[in-house]
Amino acid sequence: MHLRGLLLLAALGISSSIASVLNDTKFIFAFGDSYTSEGWGGTGDPLLSQNPTSCSSAGPNWARQFNTLTNNTRLVNLAVSGATSNKDIVFASPPDFRSQVTSFINFVAPFPDKVAWTKDNAIFTVSFGTNDVNNSYKNTVGNGTSLYSQDLDSYFATVDKLYTAGARRFLFNNVVPFDRAQIGISQGTTLQAKLKGSILDFNAQLATKAETYCASKAGITCAVFDTHALFTNIMDDFRNFGFATPDGVCSAYASRGGCTVLPADSSCLGPVSVYVWKDGLHPAWAADTLWAKGVIAQISAIN
Ligand SMILES: *[C@@H]1O[C@H](CO)[C@@H](O)[C@H](O)[C@H]1NC(C)=O
Ligand SMILES: *[C@@H]1O[C@H](CO)[C@@H](O)[C@H](O)[C@H]1NC(C)=O
Ligand SMILES: *[C@@H]1O[C@H](CO)[C@@H](O)[C@H](O)[C@H]1NC(C)=O
Ligand SMILES: *[C@@H]1O[C@H](CO)[C@@H](O)[C@H](O)[C@H]1NC(C)=O
């Protein structure tokens, strides 16, 4: 499979050519939830809160590692832990994607002297769905098709606000198979299966709506990164990726929230880097390294 090939290349750290998209990139604007957040709370000027303080990965998360791998870029991280695409459709109290984009438009976009981004030097990453599915799947009909359709229509309406503000380069991450993490396993087989079907439904609709949206817009570059396939491969083949367990967690790490790599704790199977999951729901930093490299490989393949 083509995708699998890309992921293997990424895992090996081989990058045949850095296409002009990455070469041109000076800014990464990240929107999302706890997988991406580095601690901004979602209110006020996000540019004043860009010190990574709070991460769910027990080390640098995928967005920070993506930024590091692109060398001279600046990450402006607007992701907020716990966020959904649209809290009127799937409730979560933290500022949602719509609110994060409003903050971008109010505080970041109109000030070229603060952030000198242009349509050609900025990548916008959008990573929602985990909380949307987690907070809703127990109460949906079937796999939640109707709810996730509304939620993703709002998602692309919000993306369009970024487009209107001048954004042209987008990376959309889909939802990891967290039904196979402890939060899913602990639900029992019936709810775990419903969670799985709901994640697959969300991801399938994300793929088709991204294609439709991007095809309708002039001068846009879009990529959907298949984090679901990446984490499926990692968990299926965890030893070959350097992990000691596909879904195990260690409480000494699970309880911690910083953005620097935690020291090894002797009560665990090894350092944090041998765990795919930092806790029952959140990937740990070593899995995020594969995520960041996968994103680099996929963007590098865009001409
Ligand atoms: C990357 O940028 C450098 C300097 O601006 C340029 O010389 C090089 O050709 C670019 N590479 C690609 C693949 O676009
Ligand atoms: C970043 O720098 C490294 C080392 O110089 C280089 O191999 C890599 O291709 C660069 N990445 C990008 C995206 O330019
Ligand atoms: C997942 O959703 C449930 C509500 O069904 C909520 O109680 C729980 O806190 C959520 N888990 C996380 C990690 O957000
Ligand atoms: C829900 O998803 C599962 C897994 O993809 C699938 O087997 C099932 O048919 C779906 N159910 C409905 C009602 O669409």
**Backbone φ, ψ for residue 31 (5° rounding):** -120, 145
The predicted pLDDT at position 303 comes to 62
pLDDT confidence bin for 114, thresholds 50/70/90: confident
> What SS3 string covers 180-204?
HCHHHHCCCHHHHHHHHHHHHHHHH
- Which residue lies with its CA nearest to atom 1 of ligand 1? 23
Q: In one letter, which amino acid is 258?
A: G
**Backbone φ, ψ for residue 87 (5° rounding):** -70, -15
- Give the position, in ligand 1's atom list, of the atom nearest the Cα of 19: 13
Mean pLDDT computed over 188-192 = 98
**Backbone φ, ψ for residue 126 (5° rounding):** -130, 125
Mean pLDDT computed over 251-266 = 95
| 19 CB within 6 A, ligand 2 | no
Pocket test for ligand 2, best of 12, 16, 17, 18 (most atoms within 8 A of CB): 18
Predicted confidence (pLDDT) at residue 113 exceeds the cutoff of 80 = no
Query: What is the distance in A from the centroid of ligand 3 to the CA of 38?
Result: 20
The predicted pLDDT at position 20 comes to 74
Read off the pLDDT of residues 196-213 as tens digits, 9 standing for 90 and up. 999 999 999 999 999 999
Mean pLDDT computed over 136-145 = 98
The predicted pLDDT at position 71 comes to 87
Q: What is the number of other CB atoms lying within 10 angstroms of the CB of residue 102?
A: 14
- Give the position, in ligand 3's atom list, of the atom nearest the Cα of 131: 14
Domain boundaries, the chain: 10-301
Predicted confidence (pLDDT) at residue 19 exceeds the cutoff of 70 = no
| 44 CB within 6 A, ligand 4 | no
CATH number of 10-301: 3.40.50.1110
More confident residue, 117 or 2: 117
Least confident of 69-73, 86-90, 110-114, 141-145: 110-114
Mean pLDDT computed over 148-165 = 98
- Which residue lies with its CA nearest to atom 9 of ligand 2? 18
Query: What is the distance in A from the centroid of ligand 2 to the CA of 182?
Result: 36
Which residues, listed in sequence order, are joined to residue 77 by a DSSP beta bridge?
30
- Give the position, in ligand 2's atom list, of the atom nearest the Cα of 25: 13
pLDDT confidence bin for 300, thresholds 50/70/90: confident
Predicted confidence (pLDDT) at residue 128 exceeds the cutoff of 90 = yes
CA–CA gap between residue 268 and residue 256 (Å, rounded): 14
The predicted pLDDT at position 10 comes to 36
Across all residues in the chain, what is the average pLDDT? 92
Mean pLDDT computed over 117-124 = 95
Predicted confidence (pLDDT) at residue 9 exceeds the cutoff of 90 = no
Token pair 């933290």 is found at 94
The predicted pLDDT at position 17 comes to 42
> What SS3 string covers 224-249?
EECHHHHHHHHHHCCCCCCCCECCCC
The predicted pLDDT at position 5 comes to 34
Q: CB within 6 Å of ligand 3 — which residues?
A: 131, 134-135, 138, 281
Query: What is the distance in A from the centroid of ligand 4 to the CA of 231?
Result: 20
- Give the position, in ligand 2's atom list, of the atom nearest the Cα of 18: 13
Give the CA angle between residues 138, 278, 227 to the nearest 5°.
65
Which of the ligands is closest to the CA of residue 144? 4
Read off the pLDDT of residues 51-104 as tens digits, 9 standing for 90 and up. 999 999 999 999 999 999 998 799 999 999 999 999 999 999 999 999 999 999
CA–CA gap between residue 94 and residue 82 (Å, rounded): 6
